[in-house]
Amino acid sequence: MRDLQPSLNQTQRVRLQSALRQLHSLPSSSSSLLYSVAVAVAVAVADPIHVNHEDNILKGHGTLDCDGEVVATLCGVVERVNKLVYVHALQARYKPEVGDIIVGRVIEIAPKRWRLEINFSQVAVLMLSSMNLPDGIQRRRTAVDELNMRSIFEENDVICAEVRGFQHDGSLHLQARSQKYGKLERGQLLTVPAYLVKRRKKHFHHLEQYGVDLIIGCNGFIWVGEHVEAGENVGMLVEDQKKTSIAEEESGSFTPLETRKHICRIANAVRLLSALGFTLTVEAIVDTAEASLASNIEINDMLGAKLFVQTVEREVQRRASMVRKKG
Amino acid at 46: A
Catalog residues that contact other proteins under the rule CB under 8 A: 3, 5-7, 105, 117, 154-158, 183-189, 225, 241-242, 245, 249, 252, 254-255, 257, 260-261, 264-265, 267-268, 271, 298-304
Instruction: Choose between 121 and 156: whose C-beta lies nearer to other proteins.
Output: 156
Torsions phi, psi for 234 (to 5 deg) = -65, -40
Closer residue to other proteins in complex, CB, 105/318:
105
Closer Cβ to other proteins, 22 or 241, answer by number: 241
Q: What does the alpha-carbon distance between residue 36 and residue 33 come to, in Å, rounded to a whole number?
A: 5
Q: How far is the CB of 215 from other proteins (least distance, A)?
A: 14
Nearer to other proteins, 238 or 320 (CB): 238
| Min separation Cβ 53 and other proteins, Å | 45
Looking at residue 318, its amino acid is: R
**Based on CB atoms, which residue is closest to other proteins, 86 or 114?**
114
Q: How far is CA 243 from CA 57, 240, 248, in A?
A: 64, 5, 9
State the nearest-atom distance from the C-beta of 187 to other proteins, in Å. Answer: 6
DSSP state of 94: P
- Closest to other proteins by CB, 61 or 260: 260
CB of 63 to other proteins, least distance (A): 32
Closest contact distance (angstroms) between CB of 160 and other proteins is 12
* Residue closer to other proteins, measured from CB, 3 or 135: 3
- Shortest reach from residue 104's CB to other proteins, in Å: 11
